[in-house]
Chains A and B, each alone.
Chain A
């Protein structure tokens, strides 16, 4: 009874916190709402005319949407990197920032689900996937696995974040006997969502480019580069717009972690390049297309090289102490890392798998304006959700939003 009463207050307080803010806050929200409206309009266009509004075709049957999905699963998974030291080892400096990381991963999973949904030809029939009323092809289809682990991971993160915020709101300490097991559970699930997403591709024996045991490790390494980089950038913004206490020690710790992650990621890239090019087989044609193009068609290879440059620059910044310990240069490194992985794990991963297609045809895919607009709308939904959640979290942890009778 008491808790329920408190929870009502918690919800009310959260709504109030979300509704009030500076002028800049309102402008930011307005900008996001406009982008969401544009995206919704583009999706409406897609629903009216079908996926023909995209540039996907039978030859390249997945594109921008699934590329973003694969990337965002990584962002969501990487939240756990920060969660572990904070709760399990009680390492102080990173503690305050973990909540933000968890909220970012909640927003990322919602974006993942939106990207998969907009990719469906008949989204209204999505209930066919639900057990009992539908006929999910479990355990054969990796897609059903992915839906399962993503939902469980979402629930774990959402629950931990809400629970901790609610306890802080009511001036109580969270129960470690409830939180710790959930956190331990979230670790295999974080690895799991990304592994299963990689297996989604690896499991396709007909696509030589993805049919490699290195794909899942590459996914994880990439996730550890993009996720913490994004969280670092969010922190830098939050430190500017809010008087949020985030110690530099915590930020530099992220930089250190990124150095390891990016080194491993690039090592995997090199390992793959060696395998594909030293002992070439007919299957190397996809890697050829990825790096150099085929028959003069080379739109994708530009992305590949841009991604490589971004990642190498990021690695240099993360490795050299003089750069890493300079907050502004480190920020630049995080931008490089995020962009590099976005290209590499998004379209860079997807398109060479489909090109040349199963019968050897080369269809050069670039997303249509409509596709990109839908995608921008989804990113705006993620940003909006995150902004609102972070607003509540910051108000509560800063002590501005607490139950009065303490």
Chain B
């Protein structure tokens, strides 16, 4: 670990597994209390004060429990006021014995992009400029070769009806690499891998240098080039501080496996939206999980395996014969 950096293991555990359950309970109460007071709270804190507090906010991994509580209360107040709804921001930590994995059945995917838009609705992306965390590539079916050459993929396909004749589809988002190049290169330590495998970004700590975007082999990271535009009526008020809380202009964002949902035992929004059941999600450490079944019984593969980033996003052809 870095000379200037606090030990990652120690902070990771403080945020995560060891104090996990007590922390979660505490935060739940904090969140509800915070949201409650926020509604009636007059705009005591001036805009200037808000900005100053945001400006001085520490790296998420260096916040004490007390400080984190303060940050969450401030964010809930801020967003509730801004969007005119009861926003709750959670910082719920990882669960013990959980390592998330994602599976995608290419033979089922029809390229409808329902996952793309479910993701946008769930994760408070900017609508204009448009940011999508999932990119669906369309490929020509070839009898000769069953390989994926990404350069031949087309993300801009438009058809009356999908799947188009002779095509197949590969949705790509953050692969949550075990050896993630993005977090290695980040100069401020604003992105890292949580104990449950989710690669997260501290959106308040990112300075927008975009080194991570140059490092990411999967084009999974997206930058807020302009002022994000998120209509109040479309805001998802159920937020996580490392997940779908609204981002500022000038920061990088990406898929978090819907951290605000999965850490409460729910499925990612894209999984829920998929009309054909092409998406599989679960705990890699649970031998009885569906994802483990897939890994053991299907010939799964990862994108750009030669880079040894060890993604936790697995692709497979589940029903080989399907057209």
Q: Which residues of A contact B (CB under 8 A)?
A: 49-52, 54, 56-59, 61-62, 116, 119-126, 128-129, 131-132, 134-144, 147, 200, 203-207, 282, 285, 353-354, 356-361
Q: Which of chain A's residues have a CB closer than 8 A to the CB of B207?
A: 120-123, 125-126, 128-129
A128-B252 Cα distance, complex, nearest whole Å? 15
Q: Determine if B181 and A206 form an interchain contact, defined as CB atoms under 8 angstroms apart.
A: yes
Q: Which of chain B's residues have a CB closer than 8 A to the CB of A116?
A: 209
Contacting A at CB under 8 A, from B217-268, are 217-219, 221-227, 248-252
Nearest-CB distance from A42 to chain B (Å)?
A: 16
Q: Mark B181-215, 1 if CB is under 8 A from A, else 0.
A: 10011111110000000000000011111110111
Q: Determine if B222 and A58 form an interchain contact, defined as CB atoms under 8 angstroms apart.
A: yes
Q: Determine if A61 and B210 form an interchain contact, defined as CB atoms under 8 angstroms apart.
A: yes
A-B contact pairs, 11 of them (CB 8 A): A50-B250, A52-B129, A56-B225, A119-B210, A120-B207, A121-B206, A121-B208, A126-B207, A135-B5, A205-B307, A359-B155
A62-B217 Cα distance, complex, nearest whole Å? 15
Q: Which of chain B's residues have a CB closer than 8 A to the CB of A357?
A: 219
A34-B211 Cα distance, complex, nearest whole Å? 33
Q: Which of chain A's residues have a CB closer than 8 A to the CB of B153?
A: 359-360
Interface of A is mostly: loop
Closest 3 pairs (CB-CB, A-B) = A121-B208, A121-B250, A206-B217
A74-B233 Cα distance, complex, nearest whole Å? 51
- Size band of the interface chain B makes with A: 35 or more
Q: Determine if A120 and B208 form an interchain contact, defined as CB atoms under 8 angstroms apart.
A: yes
Q: Determine if B227 and A49 form an interchain contact, defined as CB atoms under 8 angstroms apart.
A: yes
Q: Determine if A129 and B187 form an interchain contact, defined as CB atoms under 8 angstroms apart.
A: yes
A359-B138 Cα distance, complex, nearest whole Å? 12
Say yes or no: is B69 at the interface (Cβ < 8 Å to chain A).
Answer: no
Say yes or no: is B216 at the interface (Cβ < 8 Å to chain A).
Answer: yes
Nearest-CB distance from A199 to chain B (Å)?
A: 11
A116-B208 Cα distance, complex, nearest whole Å? 11
Nearest-CB distance from B125 to chain A (Å)?
A: 13
**Which of B4, B189, B206, B213 is the one whose CB lies under 8 Å from A61?**
B213
Q: Which of chain A's residues have a CB closer than 8 A to the CB of B4?
A: 131-132, 135-136, 138
Known: A120-B209, A121-B249, A358-B219. Contact between A52 and B2, CB under 8 A? no
Q: Determine if B3 and A360 form an interchain contact, defined as CB atoms under 8 angstroms apart.
A: no
Say yes or no: is B150 at the interface (Cβ < 8 Å to chain A).
Answer: yes
Q: Determine if B250 and A120 form an interchain contact, defined as CB atoms under 8 angstroms apart.
A: yes
A282-B304 Cα distance, complex, nearest whole Å? 12
